[in-house]
């Protein structure tokens, strides 16, 4: 009799644990991946930037510059039926150089005007930026963290070549989630027009990033929460946390990659950029910035950032 009770108790406990795990998977999918307001990031110390950086990010002249430009609006129908919005700005003088941007988590295409102003005014590039799926004016009820976005960017690249000309040389430049997106794109079969990738503050895989954040923000282990979240993500968004891997993609990359990361980045740890660099198949360089948190190197170390960027572009984009 006691044995039966223990068996029933064990089964009951297992069922409760299973249900709790599944509920946790839905909870964290809603929290991080589903398109909605992300209040949980408010006050996150890992996303705090210096006062100097905050002034530039919130009130810098680049915002006024971006709003004053006559961007041509473009649209893309994705392979899975979403309508995405893109924005193209032709250079002031004819050029065979174009930069394609990818913004960060919860951002939008116009955020990349911070970098676009330099490319356009100082380097004379055509610039293109887009609202990634689940962001800005683009459709999508989930955030792709770069995985489905890599296919979107392959299609955007084709459109940009049609717009800028078949001889245009293209640089892919992304920040944070946008950086991981460009790295994921780099592992695909891209047109020869794509000459270089600039990845500022990228993560290795979505699973690795969530594992790190789950411990740092919630003091929880990855198992069983992330496998459950991955199941829900596969069901709702069509991809898993482990397959969304910039690390596996750069192992196949043939285009040169410049990695940029702040040494004080505690939102996406610097070690991820180091691991990506160590496993990149193509020519690559890693530049680390002292006293720089997540994605703020361009703002507080602009002179060195620009010097390294120009060295890289001069070597690979002719």
pTM: 0.93
CA 218 to chain centre: 22
Residue 101 has what pLDDT?
A: 98
Residue 112 has pLDDT above 60, yes or no: yes
Lowest mean pLDDT among 44-58, 98-112, 178-192, 246-260: 44-58
Distance CA(304)–CA(301), nearest Å, equals 6
CATH topology of domain 51-205+244-316: Rossmann fold (3.40.50)
Cα four-point dihedral sign 181, 183, 188, 190: positive
- Whether the CB-CB separation of 300 and 264 falls below 8 Å is answered with no
Domain ranges for the chain: 1-32+221-241, 51-205+244-316
Q: Name the percent of the chain lying above pLDDT 90.
A: 81
118-161 pLDDT, tens per residue? 999 999 999 999 999 999 999 999 999 999 999 999 999 999 99
Residue 23 has what pLDDT?
A: 84
Give every CB contact of residue 195 below 8 A, 6+ residues apart in sequence. 169, 170, 171, 255, 256, 316, 317
- Average pLDDT along the chain: 91
Residue 292 has what pLDDT?
A: 92
Mean pLDDT of 77-84: 97
Please classify residue 169 by burial: count the beta carbons closer than 10 Å to its beta carbon, then call 0-12 exposed, 13-18 middle and 19+ buried: buried
259-315 pLDDT, tens per residue? 999 999 999 999 999 999 999 999 999 999 999 999 999 999 999 999 999 999 999
Residue 54 has pLDDT above 70, yes or no: no
Cα four-point dihedral sign 158, 163, 165, 171: negative
Residue 37 has what pLDDT?
A: 81
Residue 177 has what pLDDT?
A: 98
164-186 pLDDT, tens per residue? 999 999 999 999 999 999 999 99
Distance CA(263)–CA(147), nearest Å, equals 26
Max Cα-Cα span within the chain: 87
């Amino acid at each position: 009799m006691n044995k039966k009770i223990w068996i029933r108790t064990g089964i009951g406990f297992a069922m409760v644990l299973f249900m709790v795990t599944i509920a946790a998977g839905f909870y964290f999918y809603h929290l991080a991946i589903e398109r909605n307001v992300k209040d949980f990031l408010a006050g996150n110390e890992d996303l705090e930037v210096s006062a100097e950086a905050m002034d530039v990010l919130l009130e810098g002249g680049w915002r006024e510059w971006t709003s004053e430009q006559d961007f041509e609006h473009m649209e893309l129908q994705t392979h899975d039926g979403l309508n995405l919005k893109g924005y193209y700005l032709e250079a002031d003088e004819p050029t065979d150089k174009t930069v394609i941007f990818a913004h960060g988590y919860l951002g939008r295409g116009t955020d990349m005007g911070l970098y676009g102003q330099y490319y356009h005014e100082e380097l004379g590039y055509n610039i293109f930026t887009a609202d990634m799926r689940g962001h800005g004016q683009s459709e999508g009820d989930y955030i792709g963290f770069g995985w489905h976005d890599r296919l979107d960017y392959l299609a955007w690249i084709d459109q940009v070549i049609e717009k800028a000309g078949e001889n245009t040389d293209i640089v892919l430049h992304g920040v944070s989630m946008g950086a991981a997106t460009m790295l994921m794109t780099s592992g695909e079969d891209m047109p020869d027009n794509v000459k270089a990738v600039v990845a500022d503050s990228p993560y290795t895989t979505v699973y690795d990033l969530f594992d790190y954040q789950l411990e740092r923000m919630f003091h929880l282990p990855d198992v069983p929460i992330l496998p459950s979240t991955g199941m829900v993500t596969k069901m709702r968004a069509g991809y898993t946390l482990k397959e969304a891997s910039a690390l596996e993609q750069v192992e196949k990359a043939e285009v040169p990659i410049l990695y940029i990361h702040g040494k004080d980045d505690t939102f996406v740890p610097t070690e991820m950029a180091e691991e990506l660099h160590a496993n990149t198949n193509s020519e690559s360089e890693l530049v680390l910035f002292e006293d720089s948190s997540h994605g703020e190197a361009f703002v507080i170390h602009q002179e060195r950032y620009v010097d390294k960027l120009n060295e890289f572009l001069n070597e690979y984009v002719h």
